[in-house]
Structures are given as C-alpha cells and as structure tokens.
Amino acid sequence: MSRRALGGLLVIVFAAGWLVAAWLLWRTTTVPSSLQLPHIDTRSLFPAGELHRADSYDHGAALIAVYGILIELVVLGLYAWQGARFARESAAGPVGTGLLLGMLGFGLLWVAEVPRTVLELWWDRRHHVSHGSYWHEILGGWLLLGFEFVLLCVALAIVMGFARLVGRWWWLLAVPVLVGLIALDVFVAPWLQPTHPVVDPALKRSIAQLEQREHTGHVPVRIQIVSGQTSFPNAETEGIGPSKRVVIWDTLLNGPFSAGEVRVVLAHEFGHAKRNHVLKSVAWYALFSFLFAFIVSRVVLRRGGMGEPAAVPLAIFTFVVLQLLALPLQNLVTRHMESEADWIALQTTRDPADASHLFESFVPTTLSDPNPPTWEYLLFENHPTIDQRIAMVRAWQSLQATSASRSPSADQEP
C-alpha cells in the first residue's frame, strides 16, 4: 500500500472514530427524546422596561465580543503573514525560536485585547453589574496570564518536539499529551481557588437532602466571595474525581433569590456532577483538539510543518480561526449539558414554581435577553435561553400532569 493510500485510510478511520465518540458523548437518557417545548410569550412574562434593558445590555455585550473577535483575527492574521521572518533572525534553535514566536504572538494578542477588556468593563459598570476598577481588570490577572503563558510554551514545545520526531503525524502523539495536561489542570484547579465552607445550617440540610435524592455521593459545596467585583449570581461544578465540587457565588446567596430557588440551582449543579459533565467536557475538548490539530498539521505544511519555527504564527492563527468556526457546535454541546442538568433539577426538586421564578429573575439580575437574535444565540449562548428554560419547566409540568391522569386513583381497582 502506498503512503498516500495508507494516509487516506488512517484519515477515514480517524473520522469514523471521531463521529462514534461524538455520538457516545452526545447521547442521553436524561431528557425524554419526545419532549416538545411549548411556545413562550416573552412579552407576557416580563415588563417592557426589563426586556428593553436586557436587550440593550445583551446586544451591546455581543457587539463588543464581535469587535474583540475581529481585532483578534486582524492581529493574528498580520502576525501569521509577517511573523515568519522573525524566525530567520533568531539563533535559539528551531524549538527555542518557535517558543519565542509563540510568546511574541501571545504578547501581541494581549495588547490588542486591552481595548475590548476596557469596553466590556465600561459596559458592565454602565449597567451596574460590575464594580471592578479598570486597572485591576487590565493588570490584576497577571497570575492567570502567566499560567496561560506557561501553558502555551509547554504546548508549543510538545507539538514541535513531536513534529520534529515523527513529521506531519505529530498530532496523533501530541494531542493525547496536551489533553492529559488539561485534565490535570481541571483536576487541580478547584484546590487552588479561594473558597469558603458552607456554614448556614438550613443550606447544609438542603445540600444533604439533594445529595441523597440524586445519589451523587458526597460532593463538597463551597462559597466564593465575588460581591466586591460583580452582582452577577452564578454557580458551577468543578473538578474530576476527588476534586469534584460545587462552587456557589455569594451573590446568589445574598441576592434576591429564595431558599427554594437556591435549592434549584444546587440541584442543577448536582445534576452536572451526576452526569460527569466536567469529565465529558474534557472528552469533548479532546475530540475538537484532534480535529483542529489535524487541520493545522496540513495548513502549516506550506511553512515546512510544525517542526519549523516559521510555521508557529500560521499555526496559532489557524487554531484561533478553527475555534471561532466551531463556536456554534461547541455552544450546542454545552447547551445540551445544561438542559440535562435543568431536567435533573426538576426531577429532583419537583418544584416548577421556584424553577420558573429563578429563570425569570435572571432577566433583571443578569440582564439576559430571554430570546436573543439567532446570530447571538449561535455564537455566544452556551446555556439555553431563558425562554427555553421556562418552556422546559412547563413541558415537565405537562408531562407530570399526563402521567398523573393515566395513573389509577387511590380508590380505583388496580
């Protein structure tokens, strides 16, 4: 068999394996496949003033995000075009020169993103959802920036090392190593985040009841203090295995949310834990990384392949473009997981009233557009819309009513 035919066969096998893995990750037995979401009349649920304010904020935030994307593409596109000439002026060796070019691209991108960062904070402050300072927003994230910088250097060193060792098939060896590093980061990160234990006895009892009902085992719940920077309510599930935990922002506990609504949020996060969504997210990351790395490996052949430092600027630009193109698909995946967690929360709490009120309260508290334009929904919405989440609650209620009507009453013969 010729090398070209062998390569084509490997690509076919890889594509088939990719599709099978994606199907296995996507399939679910949580949300009924026949579930039909009813239409939601947004104008009848929310005051016109709330809808206008949410639409204004959401649309402005989306436009700022689009501006950031365009700036990112222009800067990295110019760097991909002209960056290769810096490789001829370095005496650091191929891998060392590639790392220098990666650092330079990272620095240029950070500088180019400063205007977008300032605009985002200005927009949040204008709508009273953030209290942070501009200097803190720009310069306060040095620790995270340094971590990303080190991660980029490690990733480049691994990729270039394998490329110089095995040529254009470097992605088959490099991606598993990179995914392993990401999994390690996901595993360790929860222990590095400053949080506080739950001390409220009522909240502790609620957590214990939810753990028992959802059969999740013990999942630690921690509180993160963010009220000094933002008024946004939020909660998230983090970690893998022993590091798995639920983190609640203090803005959720100290905000306008009732104990029942907080209970729905907790049940939602325990739903993520029950379905191992963090681990599945790492698996999805692996799938997309294999696909992106394969495409990058072919694009950079015109620069000599990833073993050559001249290919680094083009590789970075190509990877960013692929990420942007895949955003609608990646958002579809995360919305799918969020829908699973919403359904589990309904099944666990059996409290549609608090669930509906919780989702409705997100409009004034987070300024979320209940029904955003399609382009915003595809590019930026990684959760179901408010309308979709309320529609799921009503669909769940309808399903419960149907089940009850089909069940024999207590005084009927079985």
pLDDT digits (tens, 9 = 90+) for 315-344: 999 999 999 999 999 999 999 999 999 999
In this prediction, residues 261-284 reach a mean pLDDT of: 96
Residue 11 lies in a domain: no
Q: Is residue 266 part of a domain?
A: no
Tokens of 70: 């365009």
Has residue 102 got a pLDDT over 50? yes
The pLDDT, as a whole number, for residue 160 is 93
Q: Is the pLDDT of residue 146 over 60?
A: yes
What is the rounded average pLDDT of the residues 221-232?
Answer: 91
**Lowest-confidence segment of 34-38, 160-164, 259-263, 283-287 by average pLDDT:** 34-38
> Does 317 reside within a domain?
yes
Query: Beta strand pairing status for 196-197 and 221-224?
Result: antiparallel
Angle at 120 between CA 117 and CA 124, to 5 degrees: 140
pLDDT of residue 88: 67
Chain centre distance of CA 65: 15
| pLDDT value at residue 1 | 58
Confidence of residue 414 (pLDDT cuts 50, 70, 90): very low
Query: Which residues, 6 or more positions from 360, have their beta carbon under 8 angstroms from its beta carbon?
Result: 45, 46, 386, 390
In the predicted structure, residue 220 carries a pLDDT above the cut 80: yes
Burial class for 160, CB neighbours closer than 10 Å (0-12, 13-18, 19+): buried
The pLDDT of residue 41 is above 80 = yes
Q: Counting every residue, how long is the chain?
A: 414
The residue-averaged pLDDT of 177-186 equals 92
144 has a pLDDT exceeding 80: no
Q: How far apart are the first and last CA of the chain?
A: 69
Within-domain flag for 166: yes
**CA 279/CA 184 separation, integer angstroms:** 11
Residue at 172 is within a domain: yes
Does any domain span residue 201? no
Q: For residue 241, what are its two tokens? A: 């295995």
Looking at residue 408, its pLDDT comes to: 62
Least confident interval from 13-17, 337-341, 356-360 = 13-17
pLDDT digits 0-9 by tens, 391-413: 999 999 999 988 877 766 544 44
User: Is the pLDDT confidence value at 262 over 90?
Assistant: yes
Q: Look at the chain and report how many structural domains it folds into.
A: 1
pLDDT tens figures, 118-136: 999 999 999 988 887 887 7
pLDDT average, residue stretch 93-116: 87
Separation CA 414–CA 407 (nearest Å):
9
Half-sphere exposure of 144 (CA within 13 A, CB side): 9
Lowest mean pLDDT among 93-107, 270-284, 334-348: 93-107
Phi, psi of 221, deg, nearest 5: -115, 125
Higher pLDDT, 94 or 89: 94
Which range among 243-247, 285-289, 307-311 shows the weakest confidence by mean pLDDT?
A: 307-311
Is residue 382 domain-resident? yes
User: What's this model's pTM, rounded to 2 decimal places?
Assistant: 0.90
Q: What six digits make up the tokens of 295? A: 């495409």
Q: What residue numbers bound the domain in which 60 lies?
A: 45-187+291-395
Identify whether the C-beta of residue 177 lies closer than 8 Å to the C-beta of residue 189.
no
Please check whether residue 164 lies inside any domain of the structure.
yes
Give me the chain's average pLDDT, please: 89
Q: Residue range 213-223: average pLDDT?
A: 92
